Amino acid sequence: MSKAAPRELFALVESFFIEYLPRQRGASLHTVRAYRDALKLLFEFAAQRNGRDVASLALSDLDADTIAGFLDHIETNRSNSAATRNCRRAALRSFFKHLVRNDLAHSLQYTRVLAIPSKKARQQPATYLEADDVRAIIAKPDKRTSDGWRDYSLLLFLYNCGARVSEVTGVQWTDLQLMPPRQVRLRGKGKKERLLPLWRETANALHKLRGMAKSSDQQHVFVNRHRQPRHRNGRRSHASRSRRMCCATAARSRCCSRAPT
């Protein structure tokens, strides 16, 4: 294999992420990161499959058999759901369409990859919490501390808006209007914006949270102990802990109410 082969592959990878996604498609940062993760996993799989380093991969290594094997691998060995498999496939399809446009000499190889079908994903029934359970979760943080009030405000804000975690991550103080008409501007997937009303309770909690900010230069509403914007993993783990605590409390309460007197 010539030294030019890996350079051809990674030159196209670079143009995909630097030129095509942000400039031609106007893809959001979340989309770029998702596509990056999909390609990273694919390259690691292809390198292991071919017994060499990622830096030595060539375009010829990315054939339909390799892509199909990768999709099976993430589902079987990484325990990804069919829905996640389809998301990875969608990211790879975008990359291979880019290859078709820029490397016609191997277009047959790429079109065979594009012909790989999606996998039928079983639709899971929606789950939900009763209003009393949600309120129990929101009440868990210790509101006597600044961190506790932040967490209380965050959970209340999520309940009020039904916002995605990625939307909440980017909320800044300039996006809030805490006086009537109380509302927030959220920026979601595909750079879409929407205005949502805020309850008086939520607006009051956020107003107090703003007064607790240690720096007047703080732009983001929800920050961590280092005064940096909170990441989605941190928010998810906090919400999961609160939910588990609430469910345990609710279960004990139900058992006690059924116990004979």
Q: What is the CATH number of the domain that holds 41?
A: 1.10.150
Q: In terms of domains, do 95 and 183 share one? A: no
Q: In terms of domains, do 87 and 184 share one? A: no
Strand order in the sheet with 193-197: 176-177, 183-187, 193-197
Residue 24 belongs to domain spanning: 4-114
Tell me the sheet residues that pair with 177: 183
- 213-239 pLDDT, tens digit per residue, is 877 677 899 988 777 776 655 545 555
SS3 category, 180? coil
- 169-203 pLDDT, tens digit per residue, is 889 999 999 999 999 999 887 778 999 999 999 99
**Tally of domains within the chain:** 2
User: What band does 123 get if pLDDT is binned at 50, 70 and 90?
Assistant: confident
Distance, in Å, from the CA atom of 220 to the CA atom of 130, rounded to the nearest integer, reads 30
Distance, in Å, from the CA atom of 205 to the CA atom of 23, rounded to the nearest integer, reads 39
Q: In terms of domains, do 16 and 65 share one? A: yes
Produce one character per residue of 176-212: b if its CB has 16 or more CB atoms within 10 Å, e if not. Answer: bebeeebbbebbeeeeeeeeeebeeebbebbeebeee
